[in-house]
Amino acid sequence: MTLPSAHDVSLATERRTAARLLLAHPLVTSDGPHADLFPLVRRHADWLVGRFQQVLGYRLLVDSSYARLFKAGLGARSGHRLVRSTGTPFTPHTYACLALALSVLVTAPEQLLLSQLVADIRAAAADADVELEETGRASGKRTLVAALRQLVQWGVLIETHGHVGVIAQEADGEALITVDRELARVVVAGPLAQSRDGADLVRRAADPGFGGPRTYVRRMLVETPVVHLDELTDTERDWLRTRQRREAHAFLELLSLETEIRAEGVALVDPEGELTDLHLPGTGTVAQASLLLVERLVERLGPAEPGHPATGGVLVVGVAVPDGAVDELLAELVAGYGQRSGWQRGYLEDPDALREAVLDLLSRMRHREEVSDSLLLKRHTALRDQLAGGYDAQLDEHDGVKVCRLLDDHGSHDVAVVGERIAAEAAAARGRLTERESDVFQRFLTGELGDHLSAQVITATHLVAALNDTLKTVRTSHGLGVELVWKLNEDADADVRVAVELLRSPSSLRTREQTEQLRDVTQRRIEDARRADPSAGYTAHLRTALDYRSWFTFHTFVVEDAAPGRRRKLTGRTGLSQGEQRVLSYLVLFAAASAHFTSLADSAPHAPRLILLDDAFAKVDEPTHGRLGRILVDLDLDFVLTSERLMGNWAEVPSLHIYECLRDPHVRGVATLHYTWNGRHRRLASA
């Protein structure tokens, strides 16, 4: 077995650190609380984008100043709560203030007064017919301040002078606020535009898309404390049972999360305690009361000999709590611990509120579930009906605890033991690959597949060179042109850099050492793809690992005849008008089409050199229209243009067929007039 190099270990550690950061903090900024780790996210952006998409179906956007992981929901009552600085969860009114503030901030000026922001939020509420708690009252002000402080914490609002809390402290308090509109736009992750209402938004957000059960179960694993098998659908349960060992390895590699696999479900455990917002044991009245309640319930209701069947114990999946037991035990805990442990006075005086808070925490920790005898019987029947041949299911009751076991010719077995046995047999069957087959595959990987990939990289390099040769011949009427640079991503990892250098030459010209190096690099990338998505087929792993297009980025530069040797990178701040930007975009499009068709001519000499321009030359000044038409002619491109304004009868274009469509709103159908253009005159050919 080959041990990983120091470089591989360092690379994997950096990637895991960045992935864990984004999972715990889906919005990371270059000047925020985690600014020291932001360069890691930037460095491994491509890898992170691919892994989050493949493993969890999450979209990751990495910009120069922020990274945003767009998480998906898990359905109703499964979201992570926002809380105030006191630990109090956001109320519906607080969420309403937050949503209204974001709706205002996406189009707000870069700086504005706090009073103006509050007025805009009120106006937005009125426009949306949303009833807000009166912001002039103390409670309404505190609600609004909580929402604004959350935006400050995210970096959407910057308190330039003063602070947002002043509106709850002073009647005429004022502050100067700076707005990061780009962050405001990426805060909201849900599919708002497609949703009809709140329920539809929750449903759409939880939709795993093409990932299906695989993606949904993985999201459940990383976003909830424990996934119980009985809360999954049959398809989801089957997928998890057959892949839980491989998923455990994948999550350990990707996020350093350890997996606890039990008969009742699966939980991902973070040894460092960073990736959970729920802690038990924890601090505070509710967490302490919850832990003590669980301990008392275990003492009172636990079976006499719990444990694994392999050691003679009894497997206990769940225990029903008798009516009144929770109230009785909480009353004892309040009497014994409330005063001397400094529990919150409000909970001591309101037992119902304490009970609700404790059960809510345990529900979110997945310690408490409402399970009836009828539901257990239904689950048992479903299990028995779906068992493979050779097994039967038996449901027994011992001291009030229901135990499900599987029977075969050799006796009674615990469900988890049978599951482990089947999983081990399946893994062994999948792993039976002979040395000869492995050798054939290695030759294919570094030979045929490697040569194909090498040819693609070399062809792409030549195509870019041909494209630039074409671009050198075209200029706008102001002497502006475009130059393209296709280069390796600056944050490409070491394996990609090595692969690109080795692929610049075919296999016949590589040394034995270079071939082995390329094999090791490609194997590592394929293994990374396999670990990220073990359930995907090998074709998908190859596509992910060896897609050379994701290794490179195009950079566009503006050149000027008036300043030879000078070039400016084309960005939103280059200082060009919209018309000039459009013209340069057309130049790149025309040159790319010409270079592509020229490269095709070697294998398909009669392939048409045809492009379609819909709503052609919009926002381009009229004198330039003819010049663009002439460029199409010079590049020997046939073209189809559609436009509401242009007829195409430019002197620079020697011949053209023109079809004018006319429609009378009172008559069905469209009349077509056919003209021909010879570079000087337009003639009606038919009507």
pLDDT exceeds 70 at position 430: no
End-to-end CA distance of the chain: 78
The pLDDT, as a whole number, for residue 279 is 46
Average pLDDT over residues 118-147: 80
- Rounded to an integer, what distance in angstroms lies between the CA atom of residue 448 and that of residue 220? 41
Distances (CA, A) of 508 to 440, 442, 454, 499, 519: 18, 16, 11, 16, 15
Distances (CA, A) of 581 to 365, 553, 588, 620: 54, 20, 11, 9
pLDDT exceeds 60 at position 80: yes
Average pLDDT over residues 460-489: 79
pLDDT exceeds 50 at position 488: yes
The residue length of the chain stands at 687
The pLDDT, as a whole number, for residue 594 is 83
pLDDT exceeds 80 at position 668: yes
Average pLDDT along the chain: 78
The pLDDT, as a whole number, for residue 67 is 92
Per the structure block, which two tokens stand in for 642? 């559609």
- Rounded to an integer, what distance in angstroms lies between the CA atom of residue 565 and that of residue 551? 28
Name the nearest CA neighbour of 525 among 428, 445, 455: 445
Average pLDDT over residues 666-679: 89
The pLDDT, as a whole number, for residue 284 is 67
**What does the angle CA 256 – CA 525 – CA 245 come to, to the nearest 5 degrees?**
45
**What does the angle CA 360 – CA 264 – CA 410 come to, to the nearest 5 degrees?**
165
**What does the angle CA 459 – CA 586 – CA 623 come to, to the nearest 5 degrees?**
150
Predicted confidence band of residue 365 (pLDDT cuts 50, 70, 90): low
- Rounded to an integer, what distance in angstroms lies between the CA atom of residue 237 and that of residue 239? 5
Per-domain residue ranges for the chain?
92-187, 285-415, 435-569, 578-653
- Pick left, alpha or beta for residue 351 (phi over 0 → left; psi -120 to 50 → alpha; otherwise beta): alpha
Compare 132 and 596 and report the one with higher pLDDT: 596
State the alpha helices, DSSP H only, in 64-173. Answer: 92-105, 114-127, 138-154, 166-169
Average pLDDT over residues 34-61: 89
The pLDDT, as a whole number, for residue 369 is 45
- Rounded to an integer, what distance in angstroms lies between the CA atom of residue 318 and that of residue 372? 11
The model's pLDDT over 4-24, given as tens digits with 9 standing for 90+, comes to 677 778 888 888 899 889 988
Predicted confidence band of residue 561 (pLDDT cuts 50, 70, 90): confident
Q: What residue type is 433 in one-letter code?
A: L
The model's pLDDT over 523-546, given as tens digits with 9 standing for 90+, comes to 788 777 777 777 777 778 778 888
Predicted confidence band of residue 601 (pLDDT cuts 50, 70, 90): confident
Predicted confidence band of residue 310 (pLDDT cuts 50, 70, 90): very low
- Please state, as a whole number, how many other Cβ atoms lie within 10 Å of the Cβ of residue 496: 20
- Rounded to an integer, what distance in angstroms lies between the CA atom of residue 256 and that of residue 268? 10
Three-class secondary structure of residue 610 per DSSP: strand
Average pLDDT over residues 298-307: 64
- Rounded to an integer, what distance in angstroms lies between the CA atom of residue 184 and that of residue 108? 10
Q: What residue type is 161 in one-letter code?
A: H
The pLDDT, as a whole number, for residue 370 is 45
Average pLDDT over residues 305-333: 66
Average pLDDT over residues 329-338: 80
- Residue at token pair 């119980």: 228
Compare 434 and 152 and report the one with higher pLDDT: 152
pLDDT exceeds 50 at position 70: yes
Predicted confidence band of residue 676 (pLDDT cuts 50, 70, 90): very high
pLDDT exceeds 70 at position 302: no
Q: Long-range contacts of range 312-317, CB-CB < 8 Å, 24 or more positions apart? A: 314/398, 314/401, 314/403, 315/263, 315/403, 315/414, 315/415, 315/416, 316/401, 316/403, 317/263, 317/264, 317/402, 317/403, 317/404
Predicted confidence band of residue 124 (pLDDT cuts 50, 70, 90): confident
Count the alpha carbons within 13 Å of 13 in the hemisphere toward its beta carbon: 7
The model's pLDDT over 177-234, given as tens digits with 9 standing for 90+, comes to 999 988 988 888 776 766 677 777 777 777 777 778 888 888 888 887 677 777 788 8
Contact present, 553 and 484 (Cβ < 8 Å): no
Name the nearest CA neighbour of 30 among 60, 66, 62: 66
| Torsion sign, CA atoms 111, 117, 120, 121 | positive
pLDDT exceeds 60 at position 420: yes
- Please state, as a whole number, how many other Cβ atoms lie within 10 Å of the Cβ of residue 541: 21
Share of the chain above pLDDT 70, in %: 82
pLDDT exceeds 80 at position 354: yes
Predicted confidence band of residue 400 (pLDDT cuts 50, 70, 90): low
Predicted confidence band of residue 286 (pLDDT cuts 50, 70, 90): confident
Share of the chain above pLDDT 90, in %: 5
The CATH class, in words, for 92-187 is mainly alpha
Strands (E), 341-438: 392-398, 401-408, 411-414
The model's pLDDT over 653-664, given as tens digits with 9 standing for 90+, comes to 999 999 998 888
- Phi then psi for residue 22, to 5 deg, are -70, -35
Compare 35 and 548 and report the one with higher pLDDT: 35
